[in-house]
């Protein structure tokens, strides 16, 4: 039996850890595939349950210093768990606590380093100044004192604060797997041992080594900088993932329900389908449901990003996590626990944050070969200094330069920032999207959305309000208007098309009766048909008349469609009974949105099953570049294919119902969701309370994220590209430049910090 599960991984620090774990687990029998994300520190593993299990998998990586956090039976209960447990199940609050403890520990260690660093910098500075004879030499007593103090301080720094790096080195020696800790560990340990040997055998070495040159201060400062960098990075990383926590906090802990005629307050996980829930002013909606009594305005901004409170009457849907304003009402629970929209959103955000963007593949590949390459380079630099350097310098000087190069290369070349570049931007960006009501399915969708150059939109509901109204009736039958509408409404009663709603609303208003119907059928892209009082009726667009070969003068239809109205024609097999005109108002925000899309150099194509004249009228009003009217659902699909074959990257926005195939074909399918029935799983992007202006926001968000990733990758690479040759002493013969390991440590720490900081900026960028 195949199982696919996501685990928290303990002990992970960076991208090279990810590749070590990935390589190790892949070798185990029964493991099918692994996806590890260094940003979320999670591993998605598919494995064959009959051959292996999470405990076995964890055992395999434990010697390397990692482990999988395996949810216990009590946390991973059933599907019907409450959101609180859901959060625990997702391992969220737990990880955060652990992170906070880790952070505290790091902080304490950093604080203990402050006096140590001050002393070493003091000694270093004094030494340099004394060398240039700017100050008198340190008095003998003090110089001897520091001579013995520094090794002690360096020992504490390396073996207590720098323990993770030494473990990284130990792991490398035992298993052959190197990661960034290995590099730091090797560099600092070598510097330490060299210094130690000098101090211990000062007398006997003094003839061929400069015994006054020790590197205890370097060990101290490098470890201090790198630990500071890690501290800042961990602190920011906690911040990058807070979107989910905010969403979890929207969930009410209790609900006020009516049971046996009494109001009682119960825990949220005890609410079941059908419970009647009372919502008082100012309280939050605990589960999803349908209003059955009372009325109110609800602030849905936290879910949809829509700032205006929404009015709710009987039969309207309410969703968990939104907040009631002033009224009070009762609603019936229809979705509880993990079925609620909020739970879906959280799940989706979680998954999207953990997914890998294609652009990351490059970074992964580089960081996986980086560490061994750097190891080789560092030894090469040391070797070359000893080989070539000795021809120009004394042995002791060349050895000292070589050692500096060796340590600097190891320190500056850590691919840590490289591993953080993509995931941190994705995590922050996806969280930002969720706050705006833009739900992103995964990172690759996000990447594609950023390079979209054609947006295809459905007319009804996207550009127009999607709530057409019946505005005129042209009756060619022998019976009165009400009788005509009665037949039409009976047909439309079974349809979900917006046109059907306009007819039904009209019928309701006029108290027009609905008849019995049989043999009802939808005629795709054209309309519908059914048997009423023994007569077969058809309703729909002009294609219906054509299909039945009826003769009919269409001047009337031509004229009215030019004004943007849509005809609904009611016919029998023999004759046209009437033409009802419906009109759908244009969304004002659509005009602005199309303008903004044009500003982003995106072409907008409108696809509609509606009449050509109607479509053209609306396109002109809104400023659409190209229209394709009177299309059948499968033609929508073909149009998308056609655009793609011309080399366009196509996004398709639709209501997700009859547009499903086209949505799936598009490079990015965008579902405009209304109410609670979000087609979250099917679309790449879901816009809650979707109007098209939100689509513009989604596209600019993805562009911002992609730009952020590229900047991050640049910053991560530039440190290494410039740093390695500088550290190796390549510029030494020309400019006399040799990077001090201290600066290498600083640069390395700064690269991670600047990458995470840059990602955090996505939180507040204007969309």
Binding segment for Mg ion among 269-277, 650-658, 683-691, 747-755 (CB under 5 A)?
Answer: 650-658
Chain centroid, CA 560 distance in Å: 47
**Residue number, 199 or 658, with CB nearest to Mg ion:** 658
Nearer to ligand ADP, 421 or 579 (CB): 579
Q: How far is CA 226 from CA 113, 182, 248, 329, 745, in A?
A: 12, 13, 34, 57, 6
Q: Which C-beta is closer to ligand ADP: that of 504 or that of 755?
A: 504
667 touches, from Mg ion, ligand ADP, none (C-beta below 5 to 8 Å by class): none
Torsion angles phi and psi, residue 524, rounded to 5: -55, 130
d(C-alpha 453, C-alpha 643), whole Å? 10
Contact with ligand ADP (CB under 6 A): which of 481, 658, 674, 682? 658
β-strand pairing of 603-607 with 454-458: parallel
Q: Which part of the chain contacts ligand ADP (CB under 6 A), choosing from 27-35, 165-173, 367-375, 538-546?
A: 538-546
Handedness of CA 427, 433, 437, 440 (dihedral sign): negative
Active-site hit among 458, 584, 610, 655: 458
> Which listed residue (528, 704, 753, 755) binds ligand ADP by CB under 6 A?
528
Of the candidates 698, 714, 708, the one whose C-alpha atom is nearest the C-alpha of residue 757 is: 708
Structure-block tokens of residue 308? 């205006």
* Stretch in the footprint of ligand ADP (CB under 6 A) among 145-153, 209-217, 353-361, 539-547: 539-547
Tell the smallest beta-carbon distance from residue 632 to ligand ADP (Å): 7
Cβ-closest position to Mg ion: 658
Q: Which stretch binds ligand ADP (CB under 6 A): 84-92, 122-130, 300-308, 526-534?
A: 526-534
Q: Does the CA dihedral 45-50-53-59 come out positive or negative?
A: negative
Say how far apart CA 23 and CA 84 lie, in whole Å. Answer: 35
Around 505, how many Cα atoms within 13 Å sit in the side-chain half-sphere?
13
Binds 499, which of ligand ADP, Mg ion, none (CB < 5 to 8 A, cut-off by type)? ligand ADP
What does the alpha-carbon distance between residue 627 and residue 636 come to, in Å, rounded to a whole number? 11
Q: Which of 151, 321, 527, 723 binds ligand ADP (CB under 6 A)?
A: 527
Among 539, 597, 622, 695, binds ligand ADP (CB under 6 A): 539
Residue from 603, 587, 601 nearest 691 by CA: 587
Q: Which is nearer to ligand ADP, 283 or 674 (CB)?
A: 674
Residue 215 has phi, psi (to 5 degrees) of -120, 25
| Cβ-contact 584, 464 below 8 angstroms | yes
Handedness of CA 301, 304, 306, 308 (dihedral sign): negative
* Residue pointed to by tokens 């039969």: 315
Q: Quick one: tokens of 541?
A: 């667009």
Residue closer to Mg ion (CB basis): 330 or 658? 658
Indicate which of ligand ADP, Mg ion, none lies near residue 338 (CB less than 5 to 8 Å, by partner kind): none
Q: Which residues pair with 653 in a beta bridge?
A: 457, 670
Which tokens go with 685?
Answer: 């992007």
Q: List the interface residues with Mg ion, window 655-674 (CB under 5 A).
A: 658
Q: Quick count: other Cβ atoms within 10 Å of Cβ 415?
A: 30
Could you tell me the CA-to-CA distances from 478 to 378, 489, 569 in Å, in that order?
96, 18, 16
525: partner contacted, choices Mg ion, ligand ADP, none (Cβ within 5-8 A by kind): ligand ADP
Q: What secondary structure does DSSP assign to 484-510, as a single string?
A: HHHHHHHHHTT--SHHHHHHHHHHHHT
Minimum distance from CB of 595 to Mg ion (Å)? 24
C-alpha distance across the termini of the chain, in Å: 45
| Binding site partner of 222, from ligand ADP, Mg ion, none, Cβ cut-off 5-8 A by kind | none
**Using the rule CB under 6 A, is 541 a contact of ligand ADP?**
yes
Beta carbon nearer to Mg ion, 65 or 466? 466
Instruction: For the CB of residue 691, give the shortest distance to Mg ion in the complex, in Å.
Output: 16
Nearest approach in angstroms of CB 679 to ligand ADP is 15
Query: Edge-to-edge, what's the strand order for the sheet holding 527-532?
Result: 469-475, 576-583, 565-572, 535-540, 527-532, 518-523
Give 654 or 741: the residue with its C-beta nearer to ligand ADP. 654
DSSP secondary-structure letter at 470? Answer: E
By beta-carbon proximity to Mg ion, the closer residue of 368 and 542 is 542
Minimum distance of ligand ADP from residue 765's CB (angstroms):
35
Task: Calculate the CA 535 to chain-centre distance.
Answer: 55
502 binding ligand ADP? (CB under 6 A) = no
Residue 127 is a catalytic residue: no
Q: Is position 500 an interface residue for ligand ADP (rule: CB under 6 A)?
A: yes
User: Rounded to the nearest whole angstrom, what is the least distance from the CB of residue 673 to ligand ADP in the complex?
Assistant: 16
CA distances from 443 to 268, 350, 428, 644 (A): 32, 11, 12, 21
Distance between CA atoms of residues 476 and 660, nearest Å: 37
- Distance of closest approach, residue 623 Cβ to Mg ion, in angstroms: 21
Rounded to whole angstroms, the Cα distance separating 713 from 718 reads: 8
- CB under 5 to 8 A by kind: which of ligand ADP, Mg ion, none does 459 bind? ligand ADP
Q: Taking the complex as a whole, how short is the minimal distance between the CB of residue 524 and ligand ADP, in angstroms?
A: 7
Binders of ligand ADP in range 431-490 (CB under 6 A): 458-460
Say whether residue 83 binds ligand ADP (CB under 6 A). Answer: no
Q: Are 428 and 760 in contact (CB under 8 A)?
A: yes
Instruction: Tell me which of 230, 237, 356, 497 binds ligand ADP, using CB under 6 A.
Output: 497
Residue nearest to ligand ADP (CB): 609
CB of 565 to ligand ADP, least distance (A): 11
Q: How many residues bind ligand ADP (CB under 6 A)?
A: 21
Q: Which does 608 bind (CB under 5 to 8 A by kind): ligand ADP, Mg ion, none?
A: ligand ADP
Asked if 495 is part of the footprint of ligand ADP (rule: CB under 6 A), the reply reads yes
CA distance 665 to 641: 7
- Which among 180-188, 495-503, 508-516, 598-606 is the span making contact with ligand ADP, rule CB under 6 A? 495-503
| Gap between the Cα atoms of 640 and 348, Å rounded | 26
Phi-psi group of 65: left, alpha or beta (phi > 0 → left; psi -120 to 50 → alpha; rest → beta): left
Least distance from Mg ion to the Cβ atom of residue 29, Å: 50
Q: What is the full DSSP assignment across 59-90?
A: HHHGGGT-EEEPPPTTTS--TT--HHHHHHHT
The verdict on 661 binding ligand ADP (CB under 6 A) reads no
Sites for ligand ADP among residues 597-656 (CB under 6 A) = 608-610, 633
User: Which listed option, ligand ADP, Mg ion, none, makes contact with residue 495 (CB within 5 to 8 Å by class)?
Assistant: ligand ADP
Shortest CB 606 distance to ligand ADP, Å: 9
Q: Identify what 704 binds: ligand ADP, Mg ion, none; CB under 5 to 8 Å per kind.
A: none
Residues 314-353 that bind ligand ADP (CB under 6 A): none
Q: Given the complex with Mg ion, which of 621 and 658 has the nearer CB atom? A: 658
HEC profile of 271-297: CCCCCEEEECCCCECCCEEEEEEEEEE
Stretch that binds ligand ADP, among 28-36, 96-104, 260-268, 494-502 (CB under 6 A): 494-502
Active site residues: 458
Chain residues in the site for ligand ADP (CB under 6 A): 458-460, 492, 495, 497, 499-500, 525-528, 539-541, 568, 608-610, 633, 658
Residue ranges binding Mg ion (CB under 5 A): 658
């Amino acid at each position: 039996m195949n199982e696919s599960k996501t685990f928290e991984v303990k002990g992970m620090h960076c991208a090279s850890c990810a590749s070590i774990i990935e390589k190790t687990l892949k070798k185990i029998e029964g493991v099918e595939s692994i996806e590890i994300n260094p940003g979320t520190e999670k591993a998605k593993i598919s494995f064959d349950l009959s051959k292996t299990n999470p405990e076995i998998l964890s055992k395999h990586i434990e010697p390397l210093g990692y482990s999988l956090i395996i949810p216990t039976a009590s946390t991973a209960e059933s599907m019907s768990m409450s959101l609180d447990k859901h959060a625990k199940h997702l391992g969220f609050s737990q990880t955060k606590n652990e992170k906070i403890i880790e952070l505290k520990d790091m902080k304490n260690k950093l604080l203990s380093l402050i006096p140590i660093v001050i002393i070493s910098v003091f000694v270093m500075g004094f030494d340099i100044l004394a060398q240039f004879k700017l100050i008198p030499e340190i008095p003998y007593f003090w110089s001897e004192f520091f001579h013995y103090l520094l090794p002690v301080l360096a020992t504490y720094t390396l073996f207590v604060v720098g323990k993770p790096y030494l473990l990284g080195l130990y792991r490398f020696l035992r298993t052959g797997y190197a990661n960034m800790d290995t590099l730091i560990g090797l560099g600092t340990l070598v510097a330490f041992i060299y210094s130690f040997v000098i101090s211990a055998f000062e007398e006997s070495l003094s003839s061929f080594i400069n015994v006054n040159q020790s590197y205890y201060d370097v060990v101290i400062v490098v470890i201090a900088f790198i630990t500071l960098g890690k501290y800042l990075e961990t602190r920011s990383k906690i911040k990058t993932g807070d979107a989910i926590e905010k969403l979890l906090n929207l969930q009410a802990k209790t609900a006020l329900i009516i049971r046996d005629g009494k109001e009682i307050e119960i825990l949220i996980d005890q609410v079941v389908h059908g419970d009647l829930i009372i919502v008082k002013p100012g309280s939050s909606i605990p589960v999803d449901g349908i209003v059955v009594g009372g009325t109110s305005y609800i602030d849905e901004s936290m879910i949809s990003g829509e700032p205006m409170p929404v009015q709710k009457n009987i039969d309207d849907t309410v969703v968990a996590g939104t907040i009631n304003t002033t009224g009070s009402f009762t609603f019936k629970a229809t979705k509880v626990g993990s079925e609620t929209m909020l739970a879906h959103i959280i799940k989706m955000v979680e998954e999207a944050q953990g997914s890998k963007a294609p652009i990351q593949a490059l970074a992964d590949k580089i960081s996986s070969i980086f560490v061994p390459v750097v190891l080789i380079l560092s030894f090469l630099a040391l070797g070359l200094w000893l080989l070539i350097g000795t021809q120009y310098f004394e042995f002791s000087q060349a050895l000292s330069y070589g050692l500096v190069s060796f340590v600097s290369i190891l320190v500056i070349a850590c691919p840590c920032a490289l591993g953080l570049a993509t995931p941190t931007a994705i995590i922050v960006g996806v969280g930002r999207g969720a706050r705006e009501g833009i739900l992103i399915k995964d990172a690759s969708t996000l990447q594609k959305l950023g390079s979209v150059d054609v947006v295809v939109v459905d007319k009804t509901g996207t550009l127009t309000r999607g709530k057409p109204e019946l505005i005129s009736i042209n009756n060619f039958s022998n019976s009165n208007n009400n009788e005509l509408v009665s037949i039409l409404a009976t047909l439309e009663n079974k349809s979900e098309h917006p046109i059907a709603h306009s007819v039904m609303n009209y019928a309701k208003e006029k108290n027009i009766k609905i008849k019995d119907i049989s043999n009802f059928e939808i005629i795709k892209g054209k309309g519908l048909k059914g048997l009423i009082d023994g007569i077969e009726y058809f309703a729909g667009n002009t294609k219906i008349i054509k299909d039945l070969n009826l003769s009919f003068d269409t001047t009337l239809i031509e004229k009215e469609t030019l004004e943007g109205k849509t005809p609904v024609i009611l016919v029998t097999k023999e004759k046209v009974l009437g033409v009802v005109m419906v009109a759908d108002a244009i969304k004002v925000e659509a005009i602005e949105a199309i303008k903004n899309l044009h500003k982003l150099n995106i072409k907008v194509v409108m696809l509609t099953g509606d009449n050509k004249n109607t479509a053209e009228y609306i396109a002109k009003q809104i400023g659409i570049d190209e229209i394709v009217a009177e299309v059948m659902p499968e033609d929508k699909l073909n149009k998308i294919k056609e655009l793609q074959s011309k080399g366009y990257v196509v996004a398709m926005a639709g209501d997700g119902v009859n547009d499903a195939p086209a949505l799936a074909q598009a490079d990015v399918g965008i579902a405009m969701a209304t109410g609670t029935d979000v087609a979250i799983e099917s679309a790449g992007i879901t816009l809650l309370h979707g109007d098209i202006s939100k689509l513009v926001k989604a596209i600019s968000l993805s562009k911002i994220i992609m730009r952020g990733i590229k900047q991050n990758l640049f910053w991560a690479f530039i440190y290494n590209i410039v740093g390695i040759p500088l550290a190796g002493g390549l510029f030494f013969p020309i400019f006399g430049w040799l990077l001090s390991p201290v600066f290498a440590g600083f640069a390395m720490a700064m690269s991670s910090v600047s990458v995470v900081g840059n990602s955090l900026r996505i939180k507040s960028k204007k969309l």
